[in-house]
Amino acid sequence: MLDIMINSPVKQGFLPLCYDDMLECGWDRPDFVYVTGDAYVDHPSFGTAIISRVLESAGFRVAILSQPDYKSAEAFKEYPKPRLGFLVSAGNIDSMVAHYTVSKKKRSYDYYSPGGVMGKRPDRAVIVYCNRIREAYGDVPIIIGGLEASLRRHAHYDYWDNRVRRSILVDSRADILAYGMGENIILRIAQLLEKGVPIKKIRDVRGTVCLMKRGEKVHFDIAGEFDYNELKSSKELYAKAFGVQYKNTDPVSGKAVIEYYDDKMLVANPPMPPLEREELDKVYALPYTRRVHPSYEPLGGVPGIDEVKFSITHTRGCFGACNFCAIAYHQGRTVRSRSIDSVVSEAKAITEMPDFKGYIHDVGGPTANFRYQSCEKQLESGVCSSRKCLAPTPCKNLVVDHSEYIKLLEKIESLDRVKKVFIRSGIRFDYVMYDKNEEFFKRLVKHHVSGQLKVAPEHCSANVLSSMGKPDISVYESFRKRFFELTKSFDLEQYLVPYLMSSHPGSRLEDAVELALYLKSLGMKPEQVQDFYPTPGTASTVMYYTGTDPLTGKKVYVANDYEQKRMQRALLQYTKPENAELVRKALVKCHREELIGYSAECLVRPARGEKKEDFKSVRAGRSGEKRAHTPPRTQKKGSCRYKGKATSGKQRSRGRG
């Protein structure tokens, strides 16, 4: 479908960002106005840039309306009424996540706004923008997309409202929702609009959600039907509905899912197939300026460009499918990658940038070391709906091969002006360990670690890891041991930076104690820990709300008490003086008073005025009680150290897949 981009005229420089820019292009009006909650950055790491460039290459006129003043409809009249319609996105991340921490406190910095200033987009940006457009233009076609729309396409539990909200398509009053990676979806919609097909008649495009009257024809086989009035009141039914939605995110086997809203019927069509290699290459070959729009320079630029300016995305999708990660629900579990020539071409363009210093910061993606689907049968049958590829143990059909990724890295390294190529996005350490050929592991340690390698064990408790959809901690232990052996053999000083998460569904206070003891045995003192954040589109969020794993139907313990969540977090940072009181409280609650004291085995000292004997007497009174967990095996003290330097001062952790 992306063949239409061949020999299509493309614009050099930025797309119009205001009315005067549009006039300079010689337009009387645009075909589409793209409304976004982010500042305009013309870089392929930003969805606005990709979708607008794809449409432009197909001959459509696209104007950008970035972070309009949402307090009235006037700002949405910047351009004449677009010929074909409005495209609306909250930006690169969900607007509520962008604005609030896991404790629901307002953030003080926005990476996607000029100068990092907060307040440039509203809460629930997609809904607000669409309603302002309706005020300004009435019945104009509106297509919503991007992460916020994609992850909220069905009725969904909303952490900030603490209730099940309606599909964002219903609340926004938009005409159609494009979910997932939207290049082919938006092109198909644009082509139909160009042919004169009314927006309300576009009902059979894969990767879209539309709102119809009950009884209208559905163009695909149906996997399940649910009523919103029942979903919002029955946690059991809500968990079941999410399980059906999740199992139909595969483009090969996926079917339509229906929700009823009184006399209306919300139809989520099956996913659009992912872009194949040739199509991906074309998308990334479009003439992005790779820069922040110059109008933001006096305001301090846009911080979000810093992490990606000298980085390259070579892959999409992830078959890792961690339960707390929304990638499976948005990009899908089917992995596709760009050709080596395409990636090297982008790397060469980066080397020609005036401020390039010789370092490619990342060659990655959702998971850096995935290049292909996990097994051959996925091409014909799609991903398995009943099991994961890597956890709790690797599937017998799993194909583990790093050979092409190695060639890709070697090609980039050979370019003039390239001093070093780093890998900073997530490495799936279990996939590395399942590779019988150590060539990639050795190359990774020797050439591609910038002092610290980020990995995501997340926890050590088998109970919690199972709820997360992660492998047993023994796999990470094997990786960690071999990493430091290789580091030593290359006479390097490098560290592992493990992501750790507290209070994930399944994690009891006893599990947090187990993790604290594990960290102590390794000499690790994490400076940052991520509390579990219930965001739309993840199985873990459904567990948090319902207490049920939607993929297995099993009941899951949930730590939703504020005080217990504080204690779990404090245990992971037990060495911090300000956490001592919470740690003591947690240990007493878990009947682990023997860990309060002055010996090397203890996690925290008694409070001032208390004596070790005080806790002995408490334990004596509970001698007949059974402990829920036993501490992990003791490991040699300092086993994660190298050259006498501990990792303690190097740990920066947050939850990732």
Span 497-513, pLDDT tens digits: 899 999 999 999 999 99
Span 431-480, pLDDT tens digits: 999 999 999 999 999 999 999 999 999 999 999 999 999 999 999 999 99
Residue 63: half-sphere exposure toward Cβ, Cα within 13 Å: 29
pTM for the predicted model, two decimal places: 0.90
* Cα gap 393→471, rounded to integer Å: 6
For 141-145, 167-171, 384-388, which range has the lowest pLDDT when averaged over its residues?
384-388
Contact 509, 80 (CB under 8 A): no
Q: Does 630 have pLDDT greater than 90?
A: no
Span 175-234, pLDDT tens digits: 999 999 999 999 999 999 999 999 999 999 999 999 999 999 999 999 999 999 999 999
Domains and CATH numbers, the chain: 2-204 (3.40.50.2300), 310-450 (3.30.750.210), 508-657 (no CATH)
**Closest by alpha carbon to 207, among 148, 267, 158, 167?**
267
pLDDT of residue 527: 79
pLDDT of residue 631: 41
pLDDT of residue 12: 66
* Cα gap 551→244, rounded to integer Å: 9
CA 314 to chain centre: 16
Sequence-ordered alpha helix ranges (H) in 83-161: 95-99, 125-137, 146-151
pLDDT of residue 408: 98
H helix or E strand, kind and range, residue 487 = helix 473-489
Span 389-441, pLDDT tens digits: 999 999 999 999 999 999 999 999 999 999 999 999 889 999 999 999 999 99
Q: Does 621 have pLDDT greater than 50?
A: no
* Cα gap 247→383, rounded to integer Å: 9
Mean pLDDT for the chain?
91
Contact 179, 165 (CB under 8 A): no
Residues 6+ apart with CB under 8 A from 394: 400, 430, 434
Radius of gyration for the alpha carbons in the chain, expressed in angstroms and rounded: 26
CB count within 10 Å of CB 474 equals 11
Work out the end-to-end distance of the chain between its first and last CA atoms, rounded to an integer number of angstroms.
31
